[in-house]
Amino acid sequence: MPGLEDLYREVILDHYRSPRNKGELPPPATCTEGTNPLCGDEIRLFLNVTDGVVRDVRFSGHGCSISQSSASMMTAAVKGKPVADVRALVHRFKEMMSIEESAEESPAPVGSMGDMEALRGVVKYPVRIKCAVLGWNTLLEALGGDS
Amino acid sequence: MAYDAAALRSQFPMLSRAVDGKPIFYLDSANTSQKPLAVIDAMDRFVREQYAPISRSSYRLADEASRAYEAARARVAAFIGADRPEEVVFTKNATEALNLVAQSWGRANLGPGDAIVLTHMEHHANIVPWQMLAAEKGFEIRWLPLTSGYELDLEVLPALLRGAKAFSFTAMSNVLGTITPVAELVAAAHRAGAIAIVDGCQSVPHMPTNVREWNADFLAFSSHKMCGPTGVGVLWGRHELLEAMPPFLGGGGMIQDVRLDGFTCAEVPAKFEAGTPPIVEVIGLGAAVDFLDGLGMTNVRRHEMDLTRYALDALHERHGDSITVHGPVNPEIRGATFSFAFGGVHPHDISQILDEHNVYVRAGHHCAKPLMRIIGANATARASLYVYSTRNDVDALVDALDHVGDIF
C-alpha cells in the first residue's frame, strides 16, 4: 500500500509486535501515567534512576502501533543512560517530530537516532504525532519535567 | 415513492468531494452530518437578503429577521411534537443544553441527600455536568447498568429510581447504537417522582420524535448531526418547568428589566437565550428540519434499519470472527452506528488504513469513557450512517477492512 509504508515501517511493526521492556517495576521505581485524551491511549512508565543514571525502565498500558512502538524504542534507547543524555534525547526526538525547534548549538545529526529514525514518517501524519510522543512526554514528566 | 438515498447524495455537495482523485465514503455521521443544499442555500440567502438583528430593533427589516428566527423555532417545535414553540430554547449545542438543565434546574432542585440516575451508556455531555454539580451540591449519582445484550437493564431501574429526583438518559447510544425505550423510561421516572431528561443527539436526526408521546420533561439535541449547521443546539423543556427555573446565562435579551439593585427575567424562552443568538444557524436548522420533514422521519428510520441489516450481514459474512460489533444485533432496537473491534488491531491503526481508501470512520473513546471501560475496550473504530448513506458505503468499509490484514 503506497503511502502507508512510510508510516508502518517494519521496525515499527516489530517493536509493536514484540515490545521491549514491557511490564512493571516494583518500588522504589517511580510510576508515571500519561494519557492521550483524544484517543484514550494510556501508558504507565516505571523508572529506576540512581546516581543520575536510568538503571531500569519498563512500560505498560495500551495504545496504537505508533504509541506502543515509540515507547518500546524509547525504553531501549534510554536504559543505562545518564539522565542528562536522556533529556537531550527526548528533545531530539521531539525535534524529529517537528514539535520543537532545534537548538542551534546542538543540531540533531541525521541518522543518529537508530531504530527511532523509522518514526520520522509519522510527521507526514500530523494526528499521529501525539501517539508517537506519548511515551516521551511521560518520560519527561517522570524525570521531573523540563529543566 | 421509494426512498432513494443514492439520488439524495447529489444534494450534499461534500459527498462529491474527491480525495487523491477518488470518491470519499463518509461514515462519520454520528459525529457530525453533511449538509444539504437546502440548508446551505437557506443560510446564504438569509445572510444576503434578510440579515438583521432579532428581538431588539424595531425597524421593518429587524422585524422580518425576528419573524424568520421565530418561524424556525416553531418548525423545530413541530418536528419534535412540542405543545408550544416557546418550549424550544436555542443553545450553542446539545452539550450546553444539558449544562443548562444541570445548572438551572439541577442547581435549584438538588442538594445533599438527593439522588439522580444516569446510565452506563451516556456521552460525557450527560455525565460531566452532573458530576460538576454533584461535587458542589453533594447529591448522589446512581448508574443504570447494561445487559449482556447492550440494552439498559430495566429490572434494576425501579430500585435505582427510588427517591431519585431526575433520570437523565440517552435515547440512542453514540457508541453501541442501542435505541432505548424512552416512553417506558420516562414512565418509570415519573412513577418514582423523578423528572425525565432525554439526550436525543443520536435519535432525533434518525427517527420520528414526539416529546408529548414520550411524556418527557426535557430533551436536548444538536443541529449539526441532523443536516443543520454547527453552533446551535436545542433544549426542549416542559413549559411549567422552564418557567419555574432560574436563568442560566445572564446578559442582554434574557431580562425584563435591570436596575442598579437587580434584574427581572424575560419570559420563556428568551429567559434562556442571553446575548445575540446564532441567528443564521437557527435559520439553517429550520431549513434542516424542513429537509428532514420532506424525507419523512419514518422513511429515514426504515432506510437506516435496512442499511443496518445489510451492514451487519456484510461485515460478518466477509470478516467472520475477526470483527466484533459492540451493540445489539437486532436492527429493530439499534441505529446505524457500528462500533467495532477488528483482528486485535488498534482502532487508530484501523482508521489510518481505512483513510488511505477514503473510508472515514472515527477511532477512539467517542466521549463515552465509562462505557468503553464497561465493554472492555479502550477504544473502538466506529462507522455511522445517515440519510445519504448507501450500500456502496458499507461495501467500501467491508472491502477496506481487508487491507488492515495486509499490514497487521
Q: How far is CA A3 from CA A8, B64, B89, B241, in A?
A: 9, 54, 48, 57
Range of the domain at A54: 4-142
Which positions in chain A touch B378 (Cβ < 8 Å)? 40-42, 62-63
Range of the domain at B169: 40-294
Does residue A88 fall inside a structural domain? yes
Q: What is the pLDDT of residue B1?
A: 58
Q: What is the pLDDT of residues B316-346, one digit of tens each?
A: 999 999 999 999 999 999 999 999 999 999 9
User: What band does A15 get if pLDDT is binned at 50, 70 and 90?
Assistant: very high
* Comparison of pLDDT for B21 and A3, the residue scoring more: B21
Best of A9, A10, A38, A39 to mutate (most B CBs within 10 Å, chain B): A39
Based on the fold, state whether residues B109 and B234 are members of the same structural domain. Answer: yes
CATH number reported for the structural domain that contains residue B185 in this entry: 3.40.640.10
Based on the fold, state whether residues B138 and B281 are members of the same structural domain. Answer: yes
How many other β-carbons are positioned within 10 Å of the β-carbon of residue B37? 14
Closest Cβ opposite residue B346 in set A1, A4, A63: A63
Residues B368 and B124: beta-carbon distance below 8 Å: yes
Q: Which of B263, B278, B294 marks a domain boundary?
A: B294
Does residue A39 fall inside a structural domain? yes
Q: Name the residues of B annotated as catalytic.
A: 367
Q: Which of B278, B294, B310 marks a domain boundary?
A: B294
Does residue A81 fall inside a structural domain? yes
Closest Cβ opposite residue B363 in set A3, A13, A39: A39
On the question of pLDDT at A108 being above 70, the answer is no
Does residue A147 fall inside a structural domain? no
Based on the fold, state whether residues B331 and B341 are members of the same structural domain. Answer: yes
Nearest alpha carbon to residue B171 among B242, B129, B220: B220
Q: What is the pLDDT of residue A2?
A: 52
Q: Is B177 helix (H, G, I), strand (E, B) or coil?
A: coil
Best of B342, B348, B350, B404 to mutate (most A CBs within 10 Å, chain A): B348
On the question of pLDDT at A1 being above 70, the answer is no
Nearest alpha carbon to residue B234 among B393, B79, B369, B50: B79
Q: What is the pLDDT of residue B142?
A: 98
**CB-neighbour burial class of residue B260 (10 A; exposed 0-12, middle 13-18, buried 19+):** exposed
B229/B240 Cα distance (integer angstroms): 30
Based on the fold, state whether residues B168 and B203 are members of the same structural domain. Answer: yes
Number of domains in chain B: 2
Q: Is B352 helix (H, G, I), strand (E, B) or coil?
A: helix
Based on the fold, state whether residues B365 and B304 are members of the same structural domain. Answer: yes
Based on the fold, state whether residues B46 and B67 are members of the same structural domain. Answer: yes
Based on the fold, state whether residues B211 and B345 are members of the same structural domain. Answer: no
Closest chain A residue to B408 measured between Cα atoms? A13
Cβ neighbours of residue B300 closer than 8 Å, sequence gap 6 or more: B3, B206, B207, B292, B387
B107/B246 Cα distance (integer angstroms): 9
A1/B75 Cα distance (integer angstroms): 49
What number of CA atoms fall less than 13 Å from residue A22's CA on the CB side?
14
Nearest alpha carbon to residue A94 among A123, A124, A57: A123
Residues A31 and B374: beta-carbon distance below 8 Å: no
Based on the fold, state whether residues B84 and B170 are members of the same structural domain. Answer: yes
A121/A128 Cα distance (integer angstroms): 10
Closest Cβ opposite residue A39 in set B353, B364, B403: B364
Based on the fold, state whether residues B172 and B196 are members of the same structural domain. Answer: yes
Based on the fold, state whether residues B86 and B218 are members of the same structural domain. Answer: yes
Does residue A65 fall inside a structural domain? yes
Least confident of A112-116, A129-133, B64-68, B151-155: A112-116
Number of domains in chain A: 1
Q: Which of B263, B294, B325 marks a domain boundary?
A: B294
Q: What is the pLDDT of residue A147?
A: 59
User: What band does A117 get if pLDDT is binned at 50, 70 and 90?
Assistant: confident
User: What band does A110 get if pLDDT is binned at 50, 70 and 90?
Assistant: very low
Q: What is the pLDDT of residue A116?
A: 87
pTM of the model: 0.93
Task: Tell me the torsion sign for CA atoms B207, B97, B57, B244.
Answer: positive
Q: What is the pLDDT of residue A111?
A: 47
Q: What is the pLDDT of residue A6?
A: 83
Which positions in chain A touch B406 (Cβ < 8 Å)? 1
CATH number reported for the structural domain that contains residue B367 in this entry: 3.90.1150.10
For this complex, say whether ipTM is above 0.95.
no
| pLDDT block averages, 10 residues each, chain B of length 408 | 89 97 98 98 98 91 96 98 97 98 98 98 98 98 97 98 98 98 98 98 98 98 98 98 98 95 96 97 98 98 98 97 96 98 95 97 94 92 98 98 91
**Mean pLDDT, rounded, of chain A:** 87
Residue with cell 505498560: A60
Based on the fold, state whether residues B213 and B360 are members of the same structural domain. Answer: no
On the question of pLDDT at A101 being above 70, the answer is no
Based on the fold, state whether residues B59 and B118 are members of the same structural domain. Answer: yes
Q: Give the containing element (helix H, strand E) for B26.
A: strand B25-26
What residues in chain A have their Cβ under 8 A from chain B's Cβ atoms?
1, 3-4, 7-8, 13, 38-42, 62-66, 68, 125, 128, 131
CATH number reported for the structural domain that contains residue A49 in this entry: 3.90.1010.10
What number of CA atoms fall less than 13 Å from residue B273's CA on the CB side?
27
CA of A68, closest CA in chain B: separation in Å? 10
Residues B379 and B345: beta-carbon distance below 8 Å: no
B275/B308 Cα distance (integer angstroms): 42
Does residue A42 fall inside a structural domain? yes
